[in-house]
Structure 1
Amino acid sequence: MTADERPTVPTELDRPGREALAELAAREPATIRAVSAYLTDLAAWRERADGETSTESTPSDSETYPDGVPSHASISVTEIAGTEYYYYQWREDDEIRSETVRR
């Protein structure tokens, strides 16, 4: 990118995100850099916070699905009151099925 080329706005942003970027584009470079640093820190914090409460995973070789749960079920690991649970969820025809098992 040369000095004359303006960066392109990411296409995955929704309307409020695009409007926020348009507002920031009019700010001083120092302000934009400060916002960038904040957003990087915010993204890292969100990733850590999301990882502490629930994580999407697939079972390892040593883990198996409970009886009645298909191997294509998604798995979330959730901690409730200090106890971890596997939360299995899958679709059967037009219905969403789920099962929770203590880890």
Structure 2
Amino acid sequence: MTTRDRPQPPDDIDREFDELLDGLERRDADTLRAVGSYLEDLAAWKAADADNERQSATDTDSEDGDDTPDATETDVDDLEYPSGVPERASVTVKEIAGTTYHYYQWRDGDRIESKTVER
């Protein structure tokens, strides 16, 4: 790009950012580089946060993340769901140190809900 080729904002940016972009255009090159670096870091953080949230939604490990060898998973067939737990909830049954636990996890809007029941 030559000094005459002024960059244009991407077409997919909302027009509500016009005022912000106008303000940035008046800044010096060092400030723009610093803002750009911050925005790259922010985008990476948001992507990692979204990945962590997706992982939490699909993670069937115990709530504390304990993957100790004494934890064994059992197949779940025709379980009765406790009150307050929708039938669409995923269920993981684990036996830990001789005690059986049922881990229920489901989505409620944007939130992930869970319930643990000792059996």
Report the TM-score range of the alignment, normalised by the length of the smaller protein: 0.5 to 0.7
> Unaligned 5+ residue runs, structure 2?
66-87, 93-119
Q: Match of 2:29?
A: 29
Give me the TM-score of the superposition, normalised by structure 2: 0.48
Q: Match of 2:112?
A: none
**Matched letter for residue 77 of structure 1:** T
Instruction: Give, in whole Å, the separation in 2 of the partners of 1:21 and 1:6.
Output: 14
Deviations 1:5-35 (A, max 9, x none): 1101111111232321221011011110000
Identity %: 32
Instruction: Give, in whole Å, the separation in 1 of the partners of 2:89 and 2:48.
Output: 24
The alpha-carbon deviation at position 83 of structure 1 amounts to: 7.6
Q: Which runs of 4+ in 1 moved over 6 A?
A: none
Is 1:77 the equivalent of 2:66? no
Instruction: Give, in whole Å, the separation in 2 of the partners of 1:100 and 1:2.
Output: 57
Give me the TM-score of the superposition, normalised by structure 1: 0.55
> Relative to structure 1, is the Cα distance of residues 53 and 29 closer, same or farther in structure 2, using a 3 angstrom cutoff?
same
**Matched letter for residue 22 of structure 2:** A
> Relative to structure 1, is the Cα distance of residues 77 and 52 closer, same or farther in structure 2, using a 3 angstrom cutoff?
same
Contact 1:54/1:77 (CA < 8 Å) preserved in 2? yes
Q: Supply the RMSD in Å over aligned alpha carbons.
A: 2.8
Is 1:9 the equivalent of 2:9? yes
SS of 2:2's equivalent in the other structure is coil
Question: How many equivalent residue pairs?
Answer: 69
Instruction: Give, in whole Å, the separation in 2 of the partners of 1:2 and 1:22.
Output: 21
**Matched letter for residue 101 of structure 1:** S
Instruction: Give, in whole Å, the separation in 2 of the partners of 1:48 and 1:100.
Output: 25
Instruction: Give, in whole Å, the separation in 2 of the partners of 1:83 and 1:102.
Output: 16
